[in-house]
Every structure is written in structure tokens, then in C-alpha cells.
Amino acid sequence: MLSLPVRQIHYSAWLLVGLSTLLQILIFPLPGLYVLSWVAFAPLIVALLRARPAGALEVKGAIKLQAATPGQAFLLGYASGILWFAGTCYWIYDTMHEHGGLSAPAAALALFLFCLYLGLYSGFFGLLVGFAAGPGRDNRRALIAVPFLWVAVELARTRVTGFPWDLLGTAQVDNISLSRITTWTGVYGVSFEIMLVNVAVAAAFLVPRKKRSTLLLASLVAALVLQAGRLVDAPAVPFDRSALLVQENIPVDENWTRDTFQRTLRDLIDLTVKADSSTTSSFGAPGSQTDKPDLIVWPESPAPFFTTDPLFQDPVSQMARETRTWVVTGSIGSTPATQTGKSPSEVFNSAALISPSGNWSGRYDKVHLVPFGEYLPFPKLFAFAGGLTKEVGEFTPGTSRAPLAAGSIPLGIFICYESVFPDDVRQFANNGAQVFVNLSNDGWYGDSGAYAQHLNQTRMRAIENDRWILSSTDTGVTAAIDPYGRVVARMARKERGAMVAPYALTSVTTFYTRHGDWFAWLCAIISAGALLTRFVLTGKSESSL
């Protein structure tokens, strides 16, 4: 059988799972206790490798414990995953209830199903550790395999499910000395290092007591040394350009009428023109000087800004001519229906590029859409959760990640949710983008931790690709992010305004930009090899009996 009954899992294993999950939740915003990342997974690892009685009692009455069976390990990991997603992505409830039109019970059910689904990846991690451990109490091979298994599962969550929210390495985005490894490995390299230290901490509780103190001290010293990277700051990055980032602060549940639409658009244009004409040329940083902003950026917006609507298109074109500046604006793009009659047009979540002469010269259509927000997967199965999609729209995915050329500036534009996908964003730089522009609307998440979690993931994309990011959001955080992931300028949340954001162009590409998720794939291959070796060794052991 794959597993023993759940009741044969020792209660201490469940307590360790609960402790580990709590620590995992605390390392991400809003609590943001990032230092806990070095020990947060150690209790879970110990639980997986000391989960069930060995069937005998020691002299002093202590129960000997051994590794969980693969089935038990899956259950322990699955429980941790369900609780972690509930504690980290709790904002899904408010989003579905407040803006998706779901009743409170239905929104709670949606969150529960979400956690059940995504929690499978943590369960899968537990299952793999259970297989790697095998029978007996010597789990050194399993401990060595853990960091590789974790990264492999993160890669699967990114590629298969398409929800790589809060990958573990993101917890150390402020650790400049450590996070620079992502220019080679992507965020997965930091995840690996964090899990490596967690394995060392866990090992201290799996060895004989006489060795425990030495190993525990060594592992905690390693954690402190690595965490000390947060105390080191890189030199200021010079910049020679600036952009005007507009934070619209439009309520996501605005009741749109013709008058509301025109008044909102007029206010935004007046705000932009005045801010552009009153900008100063210096930010006061040594060696950093800029002229008038060469780019105006409006965020992804809840407003019905259709690129084909003259009521939107003409005033924005006039604004570009008046400011003599390139404009990027969140919008809704459409193409003519391919067939006549009742066949609808395709609709895209887009970013439009307008030249200083007022010409609409380019458009990026969002490629990676948000499930249940921008499209409804398996409509018949999830029909009850379609309310949010109706609020936002049923979009068609784009097909290109080519940069848009604002004159001599190649812009890598990605929209909202796309910033959490490392490989997606790096393709813009690999295709020639010299600065990133992120348009987002985090108003759907209210005051939950989602906006801060999203910002940290966006910052990690700057580090991986050694690029400036101009992040323009509807309700915040609107920010300029340098290639070290530092927020060098930002606006307060929930305010309508405009901010002059410094940036520079970068043509150098990092190893990660050129080669993508090679490190994560390597971890997946090593994981497969380790599991295969375990099966072969187990088979030989059984055949020799």
C-alpha cells in the first residue's frame, strides 16, 4: 500500500507541520519577517523524516520515529500547502466577494478550492521527499535531495499551474548580496539556498544528541551570515532619463457613464500635462541628471479605455502632442471580428504606445491572463466563479513579447500578473528591451498583503535581468525600481497623482536573461535522478533478501 492510515502519523509530526506553515506565512508581506525563511521549512522537513513510530520503545520510553511513507508524506505536505495558501493568498476571498459578485459562502468556497488545488504542490513535494527517504531511519539521501526537489516543484507550479505567486526566493529580495545570484539562476537559485540552510537546521534535529549542538550552531551561523547581506547596500545606479508615472486611483467598482468617463479622462489629462510641464531636471543623486521626461505612463485601469473609441483615443493623442512625449497607456484593445453576423470581436488587455505626434504606433497585448479574472478556465465546471470575469472582461491572450519602440527606447511592457513569471519577463530583455514598464491595477486586492507581495515579485524581475522597471499602478505602489531591485522613488498608495521616475537604458543581458530557467530544470533533472537511484537501490535491497 502507498501509505499507512493517517492515525499512524505521530502527533508530533502534525505539530511540526503547523509550526512550519505559520513560519512560512510570516516571511511574506504583510508580516514580512524575512529572517524566518532560513528556519521556516526545517520543522516540515523533520516532520516528513520523523513521522511514524518505528514499532519499538527506547529504554527511557521515547518512541523511535522514522520517515513517513510516501502517502503520509503527501498528506503532511498537502496540509501545509493548504494552510500556507490560505494564510498568504487570503485576499482571494475579498476579491471574489467584493468585486466578483459572489456571496460570502461562495467566496469562501472559491478560496477553499483554490487552496486545495495549489496545496497539491506542497503535497507533491512531501510525496517526493517520502520516496527519496525510503524505508529505514538513515535519511541522508533525502536531506541532500530536498533543495533540488523544492526547486523542481516551484518550477512545476510556474509551468503547469501558472501560479508562481510568492516563490520562496522572493523573501530575500531586499538581500542585495544574496539576490544578485538571480542574474545567473533566476529566483530559483535563492530558493535553493534558503532550502539548503533549512536542511542543515533540520539535520541538527535528526542526528544523535551529542552532535546536535554543533550542527545547529553551524547552520544558524550560516543563516546569519547570509541574512547579513541585507545590511550591505550596493552603490547608487546612475540614471540619465526620467518618465512621468501617473497613478490614476480609479475605484475598481466605479459606475461608468458617459459623463463619468469624460470627467475622469479630462482630470487625468490635466494632471498629466501640468505635472509634465512642472518637472525639474535633477534628482540630486551624484552623477545622475535628467532632462524633461521622455515617457509618460498610465497604468492598467478599471476604466473602459478602448483603443478604438474616439472619446479616448483623440484626447490622449492630443495630450501626447501637447507634451511632445511618448505615451504608454493601459487600454482595452480589439480586432475586427473574423466573421460577420453575431461573431464577436476579440478583446485584449493591452498597453498602447502613442508617439509625440499623436499617432497610435504600437500595442502590446497581455499574453499571460489571470484565471477567473481575465478568463474563465473550464467554464462549465467553474461557472459559479464567473462573476469577477464579467466585471473585468473575457480577454483573448496576446502572442508576442517583442519590445515596443518609443523612438530609440525599446520598452519591455508587461501587464500586472505577468510580473510574477520569471521566464516570461526575461524574454522581453532577451528580445532587446532596455527598460521594463509594468502596468498594473492592484485595486482589486484592497489593503491586503497582495499589493506588497506583487511589488516584491516585480522587484525580483529587475534583479534577474539587470533592468530598471517603471511600475505604474492604479492605486499603488507606483514606483521606479533600479537593477538591484531597490525602490528609488514611489508614490503613496490610494492617491491620484503623477511622479517623475528616474531610469536608464541597459543593453547588457544577464546569464539568466539569455538562458532562462536552466537552473530550475537542472534541479528537476537531479531530482529525477535521485528518485530513480532510490528506486534502484530499494529494488536491489529487496532482491537480496
Q: How many domains does the chain contain in total?
A: 2
Residue 48 lies in a domain: yes
Q: In what order do the strands lie in the sheet with 295-298?
A: 360-365, 346-354, 326-335, 295-298, 241-247, 497-503
Grid coordinates representing 539? 529494488
Q: Is the same domain home to 281 and 163?
A: no
Residue 284 within a domain = yes
**Reported confidence tier of residue 280, pLDDT bands at 50, 70, 90:** low
Half-sphere exposure of 439 (CA within 13 A, CB side): 28
What pLDDT, in 10s, does the model give residues 207-250? 888 888 899 999 999 999 999 999 988 899 999 999 999 999 99
Q: pLDDT tier at 419 (50, 70, 90 boundaries)? A: very high
Per-residue confidence band for 55, with pLDDT thresholds at 50, 70 and 90 = low
Q: State whether 340 and 375 are in the same domain.
A: yes
pTM comes to 0.91
pLDDT (average), residues 523-533: 93
The SS3 assignment for 223 reads helix
* Mean pLDDT, all residues of the chain: 89
331 forms beta bridges with 350
Residue 250 burial by CB count (10 A; 0-12/13-18/19+): exposed, middle or buried? Answer: buried
C-beta separation of 502 from 288 below 8 A: yes
Least confident of 41-45, 493-497, 534-538: 534-538
42 falls within a domain = yes
The tens digit of pLDDT for each residue in 393-407 reads 578 899 999 999 999
Residue 538: pLDDT band with limits 50, 70, 90: low
| Residue numbers of the domain that contains 41 | 7-233+517-538
Domain annotation covers residue 508: no
Rounded average pLDDT over 182-201: 98
**Amino acid, single-letter form, for residue 167:** L
Closest to 372 (Cα-Cα) out of 118, 67, 1, 34: 118
* 302 & 437 share domain: yes
Does 311 share its domain with 424? yes
Statement to judge: residues 68 and 173 lie in one domain: yes
Residue 281 pLDDT > 60, yes or no? no
Average pLDDT on 298-310 reads 94
Same domain, 165 and 281: no
512 falls within a domain: no
- The pLDDT value given to residue 62: 55
C-alpha cell at 484: 538591484
502-513 tens-digit pLDDT? 999 999 999 999
pLDDT of residue 134: 78
* DSSP SS3 for 192: helix
Q: Write the burial class of residue 33 (CB in 10 Å: 0-12 exposed, 13-18 middle, 19+ buried).
A: middle
Distances 82 to 75, 198, 407 between C-alpha atoms, Å? 10, 21, 48
Tell whether 348 and 432 lie within a shared domain: yes
Integer-rounded Cα Rg, in Å, for the chain is: 26
436 lies in some domain? yes
Q: What is the CATH number of the domain that holds 455?
A: 3.60.110.10
**Cα 133 to Cα 65, 73, 518, distances in angstroms:** 13, 10, 26
Q: What is the pLDDT of residue 1?
A: 40
Domain presence at residue 2: no
385 and 287 belong to one structural domain: yes
Answer yes or no: do 261 and 283 share one domain. yes
Q: What is the pLDDT of residue 118?
A: 95
Q: What is the pLDDT of residue 138?
A: 62
470-481 tens-digit pLDDT: 999 999 899 999
How far is it, in rounded angstroms, from Cα 185 to Cα 202?
A: 25
| Whether the predicted pLDDT of 46 surpasses 50 | yes
Please check whether residue 416 is in contact with residue 425, taking contact to mean a CB–CB distance below 8 angstroms.
no
The identity of residue 453, as a single letter, is Q
- Residue 510 maps to a domain: no
Is 220 found in the same domain as 269? no
Q: Are residues 274 and 314 in the same domain?
A: yes
Shared domain check, 200 and 317:
no
